[in-house]
Amino acid sequence: MRQKTVFSCSQCGCQSPKWLGKCPDCGAWNSMTEERLTAVPAQAGRTAGERAAPVPIDEVPPQAEVRLPCGIGELDRVLGGGLVPGSLVLIGGDPGIGKSTLLLQAMHHLAVAGDVLYVSGEESAAQTRLRGERLGLSGRPLLVLAENGLEEIVSRIEQVKPRAVVIDSIQTVWTRTLESAPGSVSQVRESAGRLMVLAKGSGIPIFIVGHVTKDGAIAGPRVLEHMVDTVLYFEGDRGHPYRILRAVKNRFGSTNEIGVFEMRAGGLDEVTNPSELFLSERPLDAPGSVVTASLEGSRPLLVEIQALVTPSSYGTPRRTTIGVDSNRLALLVAVLEKKAGLHLGGQDIFLNVAGGARLGEPAADLAIMLAVASSHLDRPLPQQMVVFGEVGLAGEIRAITQPELRIAEAAKLGFRDCLLPGGNVRRLDACRLQVQGVATVQEALRFLD
């Protein structure tokens, strides 16, 4: 009897009965891989709990929220205050960015109160020990297991009953119930499903390390991100010492929080004041340099926006951005040309957020616009001034949320002046800075020397 096969996309998990050069779901090329269809036997304990009848929501008994502190404040912040028992956390990032280092340090702190298990599918136990010695981690009941078989991993977890588990990485784990190769769509999906059932049934929190594609997304089927409780991305450049941990999904907390770390010889160190870090090498009285206050969850961050405007040597001027949406820059340049009379059609514009931060909220619009105008006119903004505000298509400056937190962070770092929307000035109480409210783009440009 001929065994049936199916072609699955390694990027999104889309299945097709025949091979296709381009995935019809996600559009990826040459991503369809052949897999055998194998009937998976029914397994005991596949459900997360006992059968239950539907009840009114008011009669559901409340459950006290208990969190396990990881001992790393920045990681606890991104998780929403700590690790929730029974949660499944997926962390992704580029190779060598520091995922294994961060989790090994977190497990070292969690091991103070009991056993934790670090399952390494990519390195031997000896290699994991060498990394631990390099990080100065010793003298704690941190258990290391070099294993790829899912059944053996689950058996060891049920036997040891640790406080927390790390699976490094999910792409190396395979189960005997499927004949496909490790890392395939079906293997990743089935392994993550079994680990999710184990976490929910036993109350043991599990960290899963995931590889990323060349586009920066976590490799494997998209359903992997839907199954887990929390998805974290570890961002940064391996040639740069600073790393940013960002949550893109969190069932137990906010997705707007970020954690900032610095990679050193002894591992990852927390950066408790990232605003000071991002402004540490800021040039003095340089045209095109503007400081803005961005809000990441409950944390205000002061970052420097740098713009460089030069005459274009080609027929089509370039618009290059790092850390800012290029479409947003094009919109703000159009407003500058229409409402402020600046001729930028023949200019190359390069925009960068110093330090590797990313700005997604519209409160950075005014700072971006002033940075471009400052570089074009070769006139710097006052050195001790912080700028924030949203810019509309009519050239108006719109109010933004929580200006008090942004102003307090600027005052903490020694800034004296603040340029913000006039709508926010009218609702401010006593302020530690000299605030200047503006209603239009023309008024804001007057502050350029």
- What is the DSSP secondary structure assignment for residue 205, as one 8-state letter? -
- Using alpha carbons, list the distances in angstroms from residue 279 to 240, 244, 273, 282, 403: 15, 16, 11, 5, 20
Q: Phi then psi for 196, rounded to 5 degrees?
A: -65, -45
Distance from the Cα of residue 257 to its chain's centroid: 9
213: its two tokens: 């594609």
Question: CB-based burial of residue 346 (10 Å sphere; 0-12 exposed, 13-18 middle, 19+ buried)?
Answer: exposed
Q: What distance in Å separates the CA atoms of residue 291 and residue 371, rounded to the nearest whole number?
A: 9
Per-residue DSSP letters for 286-298? -TTEEEEEEEETT
- What is the DSSP secondary structure assignment for residue 279, as one 8-state letter? T
Q: Give the max Cα distance, the chain.
A: 82
Position of tokens 């095109």? Answer: 288
| Contact (Cβ atoms closer than 8 angstroms) between residue 144 and residue 166 | no
- Using alpha carbons, list the distances in angstroms from residue 381 to 236, 271, 288, 306: 29, 28, 8, 12
- Residue ranges of alpha helices (H) inside 116-267 are 125-134, 150-160, 185-202, 223-227
Rg (alpha carbons) of the chain, rounded to whole number = 26
| Contact (Cβ atoms closer than 8 angstroms) between residue 140 and residue 129 | no
Per-residue DSSP letters for 341-359? ----TTEEEEEEEGGG---
Please give the annotated binding residues for ATP, written as ranges.
93-100
What is the DSSP pairing of strand 5-9 with strand 15-16? antiparallel
| Contact (Cβ atoms closer than 8 angstroms) between residue 208 and residue 88 | yes
Please give the annotated binding residues, written as ranges.
93-100
